[in-house]
């Protein structure tokens, strides 16, 4: 049996270990080039990456595999994941590839694919690449000497993406007078984010903007808000913006340093877009992780909240199927389909800055658009991802918790698609009770599956 390459968000793994090694990346590049070949034109694939040390190795191997099949490669270097999607569309490439481990530390990496329209691949297309990967012979599809592809650098990729982001900001507005702290997570947004904000007029203090290949997401970025909150208070900033390693998600903090998560960002943007008449179907798409209070706040505004599985790909699929144009995740993925095809941290941050300017209110006031229900999130490292139906003690306790919560709360359990981690979310009116529930199940998972 061949091992599955693709998980919930591309191919992931430990750097320099299969499947995140040179040998696998080269074969994956060859398989992708074969699948994306469509017609007799000169084919091109964009490759971008974040700032991980292993990105150089994987980039070279992928490019080698692709050009060996007679397809050209366009290298854009470190660029946010949404920037690669934008460049792929803009340059009429046949596909785009992002080398990034997202919010994980530098020891991990990943390879994600976009189609020619900038959308993440369907499961069917991923399966097609995987089939080619496992079944292609060494000689199959290889180009003759004169037809081998070329690899070249797109020198203005960062500038193109910066102009795109600035174009999403209303021409009538400017950020003059606003002091903004931006945490670049020592990742792919370290050049883009400060420049966009500065060119729109803001006074910018950039932190975690000196990547060295090993410090990406290290005590910084959207999963580690302490440093940003502290800096915002220290310098008296109006807002703090935290990106993750590949800058496809954003979490904010207000001028007091209080964290503003993706649910609040969705509520604010949903409200603004409905007020402007831009919100298609008067609906937004969220995942099962979003707080129940989001639904009630949006319903009060005449906005329907549609729910889908966790993952920005599922959000986009639901948006396309329903004809809606805005959705996101509590974790900070925000998708504005009128502008881009995937989660875009800086695009979302700019939308919130528009709200600050137009409402002329601090974020500390705006974030009170709803009072979230108490919610506990716990992550538990596991040695295997075993079906809970095979562990009666855990399954039965979860079932009894769900009965106790009734309609006034929720219990969600899932395994991470990118890490050996079990995720627990409990939501309900009694914060001490839901904490107790989460810790009980966490202990049971440690007991049966813990590392």
Q: Are residues 68 and 164 in the same domain?
A: no
Q: Are residues 169 and 150 in the same domain?
A: no
Q: Are residues 299 and 329 in the same domain?
A: yes
pLDDT tens digits, residue range 286-342? Answer: 999 999 899 999 999 999 999 999 889 999 999 999 999 999 999 999 999 999 999
Tokens representing 8 are 């919930």
pLDDT tens digits, residue range 136-170? Answer: 988 888 999 899 999 999 999 999 999 999 999 99
Q: Are residues 144 and 15 in the same domain?
A: yes
Q: Are residues 138 and 11 in the same domain?
A: yes
The C-alpha atoms of residue 74 and residue 298 are separated, in whole angstroms, by 43
* Total Cβ atoms within 10 A of residue 402: 15
Range of the domain at 57: 6-155
Domain count, the chain: 4
* Catalytic residue check, 400: no
Which of 204, 232, 256 represents a domain boundary (last residue)?
256
Q: Are residues 17 and 126 in the same domain?
A: yes
DSSP one-letter code for 314? H
* Residue 429: half-sphere exposure toward Cβ, Cα within 13 Å: 5
Contact 53, 213 (CB under 8 A): yes
Q: Are residues 191 and 77 in the same domain?
A: no
pLDDT tens digits, residue range 46-92? Answer: 999 999 999 999 999 999 999 999 999 999 999 999 999 999 999 99
The C-alpha atoms of residue 104 and residue 10 are separated, in whole angstroms, by 14
User: CA separation (Å) from 446 to 297, 383, 421, 436?
Assistant: 36, 10, 11, 15
**Look-up: residue for tokens 């500390």?**
364
Q: Are residues 184 and 276 in the same domain?
A: no
Contact 440, 398 (CB under 8 A): no
Catalytic residue among 54, 102, 229, 331: 102
Q: Are residues 363 and 402 in the same domain?
A: no
In a domain, 1, yes or no: no
pLDDT tens digits, residue range 382-419? Answer: 999 998 888 999 999 999 999 999 888 899 998 887 77
Q: Are residues 327 and 444 in the same domain?
A: no
Return the CATH number at 336: 3.40.120.10
| Mean pLDDT for all residues in the chain | 95
Tokens representing 17 are 């270990």
Which of 155, 172, 187 represents a domain boundary (last residue)?
155
Q: Are residues 137 and 171 in the same domain?
A: no
**Residues forming beta bridges with residue 99, ordered by sequence position:** 49, 111
pLDDT tens digits, residue range 3-43? Answer: 689 988 899 999 999 999 999 999 999 999 999 998 888 99
Centroid of chain to Cα 59: 20
């Amino acid at each position: 049996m061949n091992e599955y390459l693709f998980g919930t968000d591309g191919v992931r793994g430990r750097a320099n270990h299969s499947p995140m090694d040179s040998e696998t990346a080269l074969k994956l590049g060859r398989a992708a080039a074969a699948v994306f070949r469509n017609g007799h034109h000169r084919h091109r694939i964009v490759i971008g990456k974040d700032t991980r040390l292993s990105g150089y190795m994987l980039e070279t191997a992928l490019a080698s595999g692709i050009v060996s099949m007679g397809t050209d490669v366009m290298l854009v270097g470190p660029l946010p994941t949404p920037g690669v999607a934008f460049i792929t569309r803009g340059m009429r490439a046949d596909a785009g590839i992002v080398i990034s481990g997202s919010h994980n530390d530098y020891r991990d990496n990943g390879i994600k694919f976009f189609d020619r329209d900038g959308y993440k691949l369907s499961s069917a297309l991923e399966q097609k690449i995987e089939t080619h990967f496992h079944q292609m012979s060494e000689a199959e599809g290889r180009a003759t000497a004169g037809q081998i592809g070329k690899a070249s650098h797109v020198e203005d990729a960062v500038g193109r993406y910066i102009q795109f982001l600035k174009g999403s900001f209303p021409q009538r507005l400017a950020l003059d007078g606003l002091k903004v702290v931006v945490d670049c997570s020592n990742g792919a947004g370290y050049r883009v984010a400060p420049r966009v904000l500065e060119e729109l007029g803001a006074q910018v203090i950039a932190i975690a903007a000196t990547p060295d290949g090993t410090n990406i997401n290290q005590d910084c970025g959207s999963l580690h808000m302490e440093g940003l909150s502290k800096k915002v208070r220290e310098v008296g900033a109006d807002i703090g913006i935290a990106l993750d390693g590949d800058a496809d998600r954003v979490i904010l903090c207000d001028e007091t340093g209080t964290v503003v998560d993706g649910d609040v960002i969705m509520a604010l943007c949903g409200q603004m877009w409905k007020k402007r008449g831009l919100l298609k179907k008067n609906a937004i798409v969220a995942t099962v992780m979003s707080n129940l209070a989001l639904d009630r706040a949006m319903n009060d505004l005449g906005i329907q909240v549609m729910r889908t599985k966790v993952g920005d790909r599922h959000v986009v699929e639901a948006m396309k199927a329903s004809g809606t144009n805005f959705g996101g995740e509590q974790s900070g993925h925000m998708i504005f389909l009128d502008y881009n095809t995937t989660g875009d941290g800086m695009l979302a941050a700019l939308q919130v800055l528009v709200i600050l300017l137009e409402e002329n209110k601090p974020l500390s006031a705006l974030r009170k658009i709803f009072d979230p229900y108490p919610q506990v999130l716990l992550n538990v490292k596991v040695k295997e991802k075993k079906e809970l139906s095979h562990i009666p003690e855990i399954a039965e306790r979860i079932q009894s918790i769900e009965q106790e919560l009734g309609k006034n709360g929720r219990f969600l359990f899932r395994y991470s698609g990118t890490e050996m981690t079990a995720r627990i979310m409990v939501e309900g009116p009694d914060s001490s009770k839901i904490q107790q529930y989460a810790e009980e199940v966490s202990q049971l998972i440690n007991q049966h599956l813990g590392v």
